[in-house]
Structure 1
Amino acid sequence: MDGIVVAGTHSGAGKTVATLALCRALSDAGYDVRPAKAGPDFIDPSHHAAVTGRPSRTLDPWLEGEEGMRRNYYRGADDAGGARSAAGSAGSPPVCVVEGMMGLYDGDVSTARVAAILDLPVVLVVDAKAGMESVAATALGFRAYAAHAGIDVDVVGIVAQRAHGGRHERGIRDALPEGIEYLGRIPPREDLEIPDRHLGLHMGDEAPLGREALSAAAAHLDAERVRDLARAPPRPEPPEPGSQTGARVAVARDDAFRFLYPATVERLRERAVVETFAPTAGDDLPDCDGVYLSGGYPERHAAALAASPALETIGERAPEGLPVFGECGGLMALAESLEVDGETHGMAGVLPAEVRMCDRFQALDHVELTARRDAPTARAGETLRGHEFHYSAADVGSDARFAFDVARGRGIDGERDGLLEYRTLGTYAHVHAESGAFDRFVESIDSL
């Protein structure tokens, strides 16, 4: 599957809007678009899915390893069907549009590194609000910096963000050096802004860009030339297939539990029977052998969770030995209580912790965990890599048992992560299916 990376000069450069406009432009030109996101993000991919009708793949070598990331890239090529929200032809060869993270070279796990591992060309989004020749100078500097950084990155063109037409557009195009193509512009429009909240942008189904505004932006992009510049990474070896266990895993999916990587649900379905339920909508826990509670926004739905029959049932069945795995928001829901804006709400009461929301983020990093003992997602001594981003803090009981030591990141108390009670595990870390954690979780259920 051919692909291209949309990168920015810095965070806030307009990558998400440019990515969505490019997806729309390619779809309108008849191409089958498969979106992806560099780095551990759940929010931007929701916007990709809203525009393309396809799940957006997470591409992160820290979470997945290089081969795992390549496998996940090609999982996007193998996606069948999908709702078609744009005019792209399902019969055309797929093209992957990968949205970068932060600035092109920023971070240990950078957009540049993702592009280099996949050998994908880069389209740079440059803010052109108050520049013409300087836009070209910026693009040239980003292209040249690859050699200085020792990363094999191919910046093939730019999209000018907040650029007008006419003289402004011509000045940018004419100033670009050979080897960096002008691929279009995103006009300065107020209706091309996505509102945000404490964990980032609003989700794609909460604040989608208007179809008219997105189509207007797409009309200024050269979809055909972008498609010509795209190229395909080598296909990796397929993973070892896991056996179907027949275990029934209940997976929470609603407004409180929204942060699920597509590959996670797919891997769970490969190894088990998945039953979804919506705790905030009043669903009780379905008949199951294990439960997965993902991250999301439990703080925005604390009252509904406090009244949820599903959390009450989890609170009753967990002491009986029901395996439960909660990540971040899932950890919060499994705790004794959740304090939001000075009001305390009772949660499932399985884990010995009282969680409170804070005014600023408490952790934002890739993490590395070493298992202190056998746990539902890892055996003693094994290492898991993941990601954490949360505004809550947990005050844990003096008798709390932790599953992991933190080699990188913050975890729950700066040194440890993974509260373990009965057969229930709650972590602040999010892990990817390529880590093997979900295979271990299903196998732990099957071993009962």
Structure 2
Amino acid sequence: MRGFVLGGVRSGVGKTVAALAIVRALEDAGYDVQPAKAGPDFIDPSHHEAVANRPSRTLDVWLQGTDGLRRNYYRGEGDVCVVEGVMGLYDGDGSSTAMVAEALEVPVVLVVDAAAGMESVAATALGFREYADAIGRDVEVAGIVAQRAHGGRHEAGIREALPDGLTYFGRIPPSGDLEIPDRHLGLEMGDEAALPSEALREAAETLEAERLAEVATEPPRPDAAADSVAGSTDARIAVASDAAFCFRYPATIERLRERADVVSFSPIADDPVPDCDGVYLPGGYPELHADDLEATGTLAELGDRAGEGLAVFGECGGLMAMSRSLTTTDGDRYEMADILPADVTMHDRYQALNHVELEATDATLTAGRGERLRGHEFHYSSADVDDDARFAFETVRGDGIDGTHDGLLEHESLGTYAHVHAESGAFDRFLESVSR
């Protein structure tokens, strides 16, 4: 499967809209498109899936390593893979868009804000191309998509100003219909705020689909010896899946299904906790559904089951739901599952945003003693934990729960602020822990 990376000159330049328009343009031209996202994001991929009708692949050097990144790339399907970048092309020391492009050995199509420029758009693109050589990155900036560019003289001026070696791949016209609402943590999810199909198709028509397909190249294959999954287990895993628990990497669910029996349930719909050996509570937006979570009986039942020894693994929003209480920014307090000895409070500003590395201080659900896990944290809440609380991890990098620790423990359960990917081995360890 050939592919290219869609990089931006900065955050907020319109990469997601450009990615969606490119997916639509390529599909309209007869290509089978696989979307992907550079970085640990859960939200942009939900928009990809809404347009492409298939899960978007997560590609992150820090979370997966080069071989793991390539494995996840090739688990996709299609003729052309469109990889939406994160932040600006070179931004981020854990896994920048440039690092992902370099690991895949595919070219970059640069999204440049052209709302108030023509020759300056070309100068910006040239600078991004030359900067790769200046810092020793093996990154090929092949050309641009002009975001918020008008047609006619504006478009012609941008095209004519581009120097040799930089291709014009089209434009995204300025349109109020091509704006995705946002909130804390980023854009609204794809099933909440899908772009109007007519506006997206109009944007697709201003892109040069054949040129985009032609620039795509095929990445190297991963190491075949490392591309194997351990055998199946006898575990049955219940995964929370609804609007409150919606931050799940496709590869994580795939890994669980490859090695165990997986069943879904919805805490906000008052589903009973399924008969299972372990529960996975992904991240999401429990703070937006706290009243439903308190009113239904699912979390209370989950707390009782955890007290009886059922292993519950929660990440970020999952940790919040496992706590005693959740207090929103309005000051409203809601009872949660009461598994972990903590009370969680939401804030107006984010409390942590980083690639993280954790070292297990003892054997736990997701790691053996002394093992390290790499993950990502991004949350607007803080957890006030009891003085005698037990932690599973020391933070080698990142903030964790209290600045030096992550992984709150109680009974057989574990709650972390860090999100981890299947390539970390954490979910294999989880399955092996609960299937004994």
Matched residues in 2 for 1:444 and 1:433: separation? 15
1:218 equivalent in structure 2? 204
Are residue 413 (structure 1) and residue 388 (structure 2) matched?
no
Shift of 1:421: 0.7
Q: Which residue of 250, 271, 276 corresponds with 2:238?
A: 250
Percent of residue pairs bearing the same amino acid type: 68
Please give the per-residue CA displacement for 1:394-427, whole angstroms capped at 9, x wherever unaligned.
0001110000000100000000000011110000
- Residue aligning to 1:351: 340
Q: Which residue of 1 aligns with 2:30?
A: 30
How far 1:157 moved relative to its partner?
0.9
Aligned counterpart, 2:87: 102
Alpha-carbon distance in structure 2 between the residues aligned to 1:25 and 1:263: 27
Report SS of the residue matched to 1:101.
coil
Distance in 2 between the 1:63 and 1:31 partners? 30
Q: 5 Å matches for 1:312-331?
A: 312-331=300-319
Secondary structure of residue in 2 paired with 1:373? coil
Deviations 1:9-58 (A, max 9, x none): 00011101000000000000111000000001000000000000010011
Corresponding position of 1:61: 61
TM-score by length of 2: 0.98
Cα separation, 2, equivalents of 1:141 and 1:241 = 43
Provide the aligned C-alpha RMSD in A. 0.7
Any gaps of 5 or more consecutive residues in structure 1?
Answer: 78-92
Match of 1:192 among 165, 178, 182: 178
Q: What are the residue-to-residue correspondences of 1:364-443 with 2, within 5 Å?
A: 364-443=353-432
Give me the whole-angstrom Cα distance separating, in 1, the residues matched to 2:434 and 2:223.
28
Tell me if structure 2 keeps the 8 A contact 1:285–1:309: no
Alignment partner of 2:393: what SS?
Answer: strand
CA displacement at 1:308 relative to structure 2: 2.6
Counterpart amino acid of residue 283 in structure 1: D
Residue segments in structure 2 that go unaligned for 5+ positions in a row = none
Local SS of the residue matching 1:296 = coil
Counterpart of 1:39? Answer: 39
CA distance in 2, matches of 1:4, 1:19: 11
* AA matched with 1:102: M
Aligned-partner residue type, residue 184 of structure 1: G
Q: How big is each residue's C-alpha offset from its partner over 1:374-399, in whole Å with a ceiling of 9 and x where there is no partner?
A: 11000110000000000000000111
Deviations 1:49-83 (A, max 9, x none): 00000100110010011110010010113xxxxxx
Provide the C-alpha distance between the structure 1 equivalents of 2:422 and 2:96, rounded to a whole number of angstroms.
21
Alpha-carbon shift at residue 240 of structure 1 (Å): 2.3
Partners of 1:16 and 1:241 lie apart in 2 by: 32
Moved over 4 A (4+): none
Give the CA deviation at 1:186: 0.4
Say whether residues 1:272 and 2:260 are aligned partners. Answer: yes
Cα distance in structure 2, aligned partners of 1:407 and 1:237? 28
Q: Which amino acid aligns with 1:332?
A: M
Shift of 1:330: 0.2
Structure 2 SS opposite 1:139: helix
The residue type equivalent to 2:427 in the other structure is: F
CA shift at 1:237, angstroms?
2.9
The yes-or-no answer on 1:114 pairing with 2:103 is no
Q: Which position in structure 2 is the counterpart of 1:90? A: none
Q: Is the 8 A contact 1:36 1:45 kept in 2?
A: yes
- Give, as a single letter, the amino acid of the residue that structure 2 aligns with 1:428: Y
User: Where does residue 144 of structure 2 map in the other structure?
Assistant: 158
Report the Cα distance in structure 1 between the residues aligned to 2:283 and 2:307, rounded to whole angstroms: 22
Alpha-carbon distance between aligned partners in 1 of 2:203 and 2:135, rounded to the nearest angstrom: 33
Q: Which amino acid aligns with 2:399?
A: R
